[in-house]
Structure 1
């Protein structure tokens, strides 16, 4: 045979061996072997008993999969992982777990009921953590990384051990209190056994008590109040949030306390009122709107030093003649407010009107469209003292109007002011 033809034939014979050089050989038990083989664009696995199965390759934007051999379910036997890059940073996996009772490898399919609870839609970016006997899956969507952690039961089936839950709901009541990320830990039955708020760097989130005295509750409802309380300035670790209740862990002298606190009580704008100068040098002025002939809601803000507000909200506080208190969130300002030192700005200057059975005030919506919002909440008829309050995440404390207006409810509004355009 000519030398050239001999070399060409040798190269052709060697080509399959070279293409298979990086394909894994697995030894799940002493004396047993399995190996991966490429068959054109497909891959197959020879089981320890000599039979073959075709491997499912993850759908992704690459053509060549990567194979890993590791004990993914922590049962002491090597398993097979197949990964492919998906996008710029994500890596998706398919797993084949070794089942010692059958002495075979089996594709691990996640139940739909489990997939629906995951931050990632399947196995991604896998990392084994033997100290937890947990398999972590992580993926990135937008600016944030998500993760799920799995443990395996006695039959080698995965269950959700931990996950990162993102709270998408934004509370309009407390714009300065928003915890978007919670790590939840579950038992094998799916019950939450631990929870904590974290930031994007996986650090625990804390919360500082904003009011002089705040009672602790065994459960998130009024009937479970205890005699114990926290005081202003106490720092707590945030564990969970359920509506207007916050579960916290406080390091007391007798040990860690895990209790619930009422956010309605913590941020009760009536209790937080102070006539002292505002710590940020801000002043809120409100004109008297009790005149039936001129029921004009006029609100102005001034500051003796630079002030920037990004999520300001206007609230009204009503106090009845018998001392009953009502809080009413009037509206969000919807635009940043920036004041230089010794500068003032008009926040509102609109008539209180009677429309469709409600007393309303004009306030453009988030899109700048004409809109009216309820000025008075549903109150028992009577005489009320009314004070305006401005809140924002950038304020050291809410800003209370120095003025308090005395009005009757329902208010007397001159007929000529009805339905003013």
Structure 2
């Protein structure tokens, strides 16, 4: 995808030698020295001047040595890089500054946030002081970064491209970052099948909660409304940082929970009667009790009430928590395998799943396997560490994987409603019965 050959232009058979000499311009010679093994020290001497330390590198062979005129000032600059024998060159870029008779490194402006995290496979513009880098770390992990050089030798980001996989999605969306003159992000355009905001970033629902921080307890007093346009300026797991389109750059930014763009949680209302047809979700109310392991069990069935069979191609399960003030928080849980639910027999259709039960009730036996019912969960909710060592309530997602069950909710009583969506089915969300949950639970391992 990226032109490694362009990076290696000028790479000679002697590039593995410890000294590299080149003419910065006719009559002005530089010698670049690479010394050391476990830690390699790179230095340069211009003319008869003193050596200048440039970089310290790990033990990977420095196998790229290039001398383009990056800023087109008539003096050849310096690129050194390490490929590891693969197709991705991790490069360090140095401008020669004739007034100081020294090299100045072009420092990556945002290594933690950028798609490539460093200058990878740089290709330099033949006409202007600009360059492009590109990296590939997997099928859904690749990116490009475009930069222009400022007069002071710093790199100004112009455009980045990358991918991001959001809550419970099957495929990543394409990201294009735009920037202000000062290098801060102006907007992130997101594109791909199923992206919930249209090309203008228009709010899809009558009301969209905004948050003052990426924290479900930081609900803003202000909400966005249908037709408002949002500029996305940052991403976090489960969250997008936004600013109302047209607002000043210094206007306070807000945060939106990604799940809130998919499910119109404020339209949910408890049904007056059980459904007579279509899909029915049944969740059982033994969370937080002392009857079962840790925080109780999560038991979930989906039933087809007819009249015809139903194919769920990409079912996704979400949890909706509603507090005493009717504040609503959505939590992504997991995907379930594709399933076809047959049309129910008459006797099954006449006996929909039993409702939730209290702490003192006996736990119901799992329903007998029937072609119109799928049991999606019957698992303990455990107080468990994640890969980073953080504890939280988690439930099995299968294949040895555990997912968070609760967002970081404030203590109190909540109604819990399970929500089913399936983008492939192109139907609205399906809501379960509600059960009550008191938080926090006893933290038992």
Please give the TM-score of this superposition, normalised by the length of structure 2. Answer: 0.52
Which residue of 253, 258, 271 maps to 2:266? 271
Distance verdict in 2 for CA 1:92–1:319, change over 3 Å = closer
Unaligned runs of 5+ in 2: 1-8, 35-41, 43-58, 292-296, 344-370, 384-392, 440-445
Residue matched to 1:101: 99
Residue matched to 2:375: 347
Query: Equivalents in 2 of 1:117, 1:371: separation in Å?
Result: 25
Residue matched to 2:121: 124
Q: CA deviation at 1:347?
A: 2.6
Indicate whether 1:247 and 2:242 are aligned: yes
SS in 2 for 1:324: coil
Q: CA deviation at 1:161?
A: 2.2
Query: Equivalents in 1 of 2:10, 2:138: separation in Å?
Result: 34
* CA displacement, residues 140-162 of structure 1 (integer Å, 9 cap, x when unaligned): 3333433334443434x223424
Query: Equivalents in 2 of 1:288, 1:116: separation in Å?
Result: 43
Distance verdict in 2 for CA 1:246–1:347, change over 3 Å = farther
Task: For 1:305-320, list aligned pairs within 5 A.
Answer: 306-310=310-314, 312-316=316-320, 318=322
Residue matched to 2:76: 79
Residue matched to 1:145: 142
Residue matched to 1:197: 189
Task: For 1:383-402, list aligned pairs within 5 A.
Answer: 387-394=417-424, 396=426, 397-401=428-432
Task: For 1:7-406, list aligned pairs within 5 A.
Answer: 41=17, 43-46=20-23, 48=25, 50=27, 52-55=29-32, 69-70=68-69, 72-75=70-73, 77-80=74-77, 86=83, 87=85, 89-91=87-89, 97-101=95-99, 107-111=103-107, 119-122=116-119, 124-128=121-125, 133-143=129-139, 144-155=141-152, 157-162=153-158, 164=160, 181=175, 183=177, 185=179, 187-188=181-182, 192-198=184-190, 206=199, 209-214=203-208, 225=222, 229-231=225-227, 238-241=232-235, 244-247=239-242, 262-263=256-257, 266=261, 270-273=265-268, 282-286=278-282, 297=299, 299-302=301-304, 304=308, 306-310=310-314, 312-316=316-320, 318=322, 324=326, 327=329, 329=331, 331-332=333-334, 335-339=336-340, 342=343, 344-348=372-376, 350=378, 364-368=396-400, 380=412, 387-394=417-424, 396=426, 397-401=428-432, 404=433
How many correspondences in the alignment?
342
Residue matched to 1:14: none
Q: CA deviation at 1:283?
A: 0.7
Distance verdict in 2 for CA 1:289–1:130, change over 3 Å = same
SS in 2 for 1:135: strand
Query: Equivalents in 1 of 2:94, 2:27: separation in Å?
Result: 17
8 Å Cα contact 2:331/2:405 also seen in 1: no
Residue matched to 2:443: none
Q: CA deviation at 1:400?
A: 1.6
Computed over aligned residues only, the root mean square deviation of the Cα atoms, in angstroms, reads: 6.0
SS in 2 for 1:90: coil
8 Å Cα contact 1:83/1:91 also seen in 2: no
8 Å Cα contact 2:97/2:103 also seen in 1: no
Pair member with larger Rg: 1
The answer to which structure, 1 or 2, has the higher relative contact order (CA under 8 A, 6+ apart) is 2
Distance verdict in 2 for CA 1:224–1:184, change over 3 Å = farther
Q: CA deviation at 1:110?
A: 4.2
Query: Equivalents in 2 of 1:186, 1:238: separation in Å?
Result: 14
Query: Equivalents in 1 of 2:87, 2:21: separation in Å?
Result: 27
